[in-house]
């Protein structure tokens, strides 16, 4: 498989295949499934973002709408009230690219107008194609996720591949080049536990799409089901899934524990991508 071309997000260049990049999750919500929701506390979100940057985050992903199973929909206005103060602060205080995690076009427009440099759409433009038009208008990259909720299952990878191809086509129609797209298979979005595990086993099959792959397994219920552990005790299970995903082709991991997962990425990269010991210091 050819390596996708490098991608600039904000002022940073992402060279695929060199190492695994880390997206830190900032949930400005009171009802995150992972227990890390910060409500409307912008100060807490900014403080967490600064910690993530120190620990090695390459992208900060800001979301104001919970997407857990059975989530309560909020208005675009309320979502903007949650995310915009955080985005504006982060753009002024860090050099790390900021992504808006939303599937609502008014929220995406407001975030991009405020300076956000990436879109992360859990419906891959299929819920609201206007988001693809916004990505084209602002010239920003986009994460397009395959969401299996409400869809019939045929084959895990075939369904994901079909859904992502539809999203790539919507992007092309809107004027977003494929080189600006990152694909996410949607771990935990409409799949049973066994399907999620199969997704990780077969992740490398998605390389044929020709796009970088993002994976988000962090703290999710499949890990809890396998290990019998509550959400706050799923760090090691998350680490295992991340290492396997990297071995099978993941380019970006979306995580809640940036420091711990940065170590996982470095170790997995050393095995998968190669490693050389640092040069000895000159006396």
Residue 32: pLDDT over 60: no
Annotated catalytic, 220? yes
Q: Looking at 178, 254, 266, 273, which residue is catalytic? A: 254
Domains and CATH numbers, the chain: 20-272 (3.20.20.20)
Residue 229: pLDDT over 80: yes
Confidence band, pLDDT 50/70/90 cuts, at residue 227: very high
- Do 175 and 134 contact (CB within 8 A), yes or no? no
243-271: pLDDT as tens digits: 999 999 999 999 999 999 999 999 999 99
Q: Looking at 180, 207, 220, 234, which residue is catalytic? A: 220
Could you tell me the CA-to-CA distances from 189 to 119, 148, 151, 155 in Å, in that order?
18, 6, 11, 15
CA distance 62 to 90: 10
What is the reported pLDDT for 152?
A: 93
Annotated catalytic, 254? yes
CA distance 220 to 2: 31
- Do 123 and 147 contact (CB within 8 A), yes or no? yes
What is the reported pLDDT for 127?
A: 93
Tell me what the mean pLDDT of segment 84-112 comes to.
96
Q: Among all chains, which residue has been given the structure tokens 């995903």? A: 245
């Amino acid at each position: 498989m050819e390596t996708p071309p490098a991608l600039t997000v904000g002022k940073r260049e992402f060279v695929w295949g060199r190492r695994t990049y880390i997206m830190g999750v900032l949930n400005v919500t009171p009802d995150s499934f992972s227990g890390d929701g910060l409500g409307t506390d912008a100060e807490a979100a900014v403080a967490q973002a600064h910690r993530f940057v120190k620990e090695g985050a390459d992208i900060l992903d800001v979301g104001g709408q919970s997407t857990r199973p059975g989530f309560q929909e909020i208005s675009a206005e309320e979502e903007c009230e949650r995310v915009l103060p955080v985005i504006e602060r982060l753009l002024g205080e860090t050099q790390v690219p900021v992504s808006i995690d939303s599937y609502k076009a008014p929220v995406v427009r407001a975030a991009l107008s405020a300076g956000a440099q990436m879109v992360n759409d859990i419906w891959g433009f299929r819920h609201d194609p206007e988001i693809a038009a916004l990505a084209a208008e602002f010239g920003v990259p986009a994460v397009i996720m395959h969401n299996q909720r409400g869809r019939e299952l045929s084959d895990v990878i075939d369904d994901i591949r079909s859904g992502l191809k539809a999203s790539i086509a919507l992007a092309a129609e809107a004027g977003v080049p494929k080189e600006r797209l990152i694909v996410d298979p949607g771990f935990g979005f409409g799949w049973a536990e066994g399907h999620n595990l199969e997704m990780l086993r077969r992740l490398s099959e998605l390389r044929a799409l020709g796009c970088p792959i993002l994976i988000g397994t962090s703290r999710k219920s499949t890990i809890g089901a396998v290990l019998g552990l509550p959400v706050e005790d799923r760090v090691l299970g998350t680490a295992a899934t991340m290492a396997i995903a990297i071995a099978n082709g993941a380019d970006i991991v979306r995580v809640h524990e940036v420091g711990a997962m940065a170590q996982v990425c470095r170790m997995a990269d050393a095995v998968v991508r190669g490693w050389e010991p640092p040069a000895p210091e000159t006396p």
